[in-house]
Structure 1
Amino acid sequence: MANGKFTVKSAYHLAVRISSLENRGSASDCSLMRRFWRSLWRLPIPHKVRHFAWRACREALPTKVNLKKRKVLTNDSCEWCKVKLETAGYALWGCPKAQEMLLAKNVNLDCVSRLVMVARKLWHSRNEWRLNGVMKSGKQLVFGAMQY
């Protein structure tokens, strides 16, 4: 975002930086965080999808890591790859299944909106697979997100 352009890459790096802060109430550059959140809340997508993105950035989704912390589950590995811990960041961006959809580098506001829609669809599909055994391809997920 140094050049003023909002990209998926800059949003991802900011989200990673935010989630790694020990004290989430303070950051070295509050104006950067304010711009990020303002951009998120202004995306032309349904409110529940913006809310989902906010929860994902704050690690507030019911991931396996969070459910294990609350003693709901005993296994906290990724539902799809079974290799790494399932945090929101890993489930939506780091897992090879998620990365099938994250090929674009520089995108505009419309692309960011689509990315958030796809992330929510990915999360929903992950839950559908875990609960009902229904697995969708990356192509089906993207198509479903764009239809929504």
Structure 2
Amino acid sequence: MVDDLIDLENKSWNLNLINSSFLPLEAEIIGGIPLTDRLPEDKQIWGATSNGLFTIRSAYQIAMDLNGKEPAGSTSNGSGMRLFWRKLWNINVPHKIRHFAWRVAKDIFPTKANIVHRHVLLDDTCEECGLMSESMVHFFWECPKSHHTWMLSKLFQTSGPLHFRNFMDFLWYLLMEVNWSEEDLALVDAIVWAMWTNRNEMRHGGLRKSGDQLLFWCKQYLDDYWAVLEASVKMQQ
């Protein structure tokens, strides 16, 4: 049960139990979910209605919304989406980052906007800027901190500003609309992962990394990973 993972006395996650029970990435995600001080009893709710009860009408509305959000480049038979997912999973980064990118693309990460939608929190304001709702596309692209990091990376050298409806559109643009190198795509994945990791570190008392620090760490991490892969290939020859 979820309440087994919560330290009721301190009203916080039992991080020792979580770290010993889940994979590192899963433990990091769980630990990053804010807990309410009220600690209400667990119950099943339907996030698409204000009272938490399932209705056919709300399910139909969700289906219509999802259909409307489908990237413009996808085709009716799904071949575009299959190509998109194949490209996403083929980016040359550690598996935990590929899995992270898949979860981000599916918008199933515990951003404050998603948690408020599930009626767990009341306030979805981004803690970085204090101005907007902490949605996926805001946290990873629109927020001043993330925007500054992307500008420092010099990855997005375009003639004008780029705007995305959601983070799926952001990934679609990178994988299906522009011709980037494997190294640049890997760096994007690593930066997104590092942004989220630092967010959770800060929630547990860690230090806030600057854009320069995040970029330096990502590049060093990828260089080390690729060096290990190259050494492994040479040993097998």
Matches within 5 A, 1:1-148: 22-23=65-66, 27=70, 29=75, 30-103=78-151, 104-105=155-156, 107-132=180-205, 134-148=207-221
Structure 2 unaligned spans of 5+: 1-63, 157-177, 222-237
Match of 1:7 in 2: none
CA–CA separation in structure 1 for the residues paired with 2:206 and 2:128: 11
Name the TM-score, length of structure 2 as normaliser. 0.49
Q: Once superposed, which parts of structure 1, at least 4 consecutive aligned residues long, lie more than 6 Å away?
A: none
Q: CA deviation at 1:87?
A: 1.1
CA–CA separation in structure 2 for the residues paired with 1:78 and 1:22: 24
RMSD, aligned CA: 2.2
CA–CA separation in structure 1 for the residues paired with 2:102 and 2:125: 23
Aligned positions, number: 128
CA–CA separation in structure 2 for the residues paired with 1:109 and 1:126: 26
SS in 2 for 1:143: helix
SS in 1 for 2:65: coil
Code of the aligned partner of 1:74? L
Name the TM-score, length of structure 1 as normaliser. 0.76
Which has more radius of gyration? Answer: 2
CA–CA separation in structure 1 for the residues paired with 2:190 and 2:140: 11
**More contact order relative to length (CA 8 Å, sep ≥ 6):** 1
Code of the aligned partner of 1:23? L
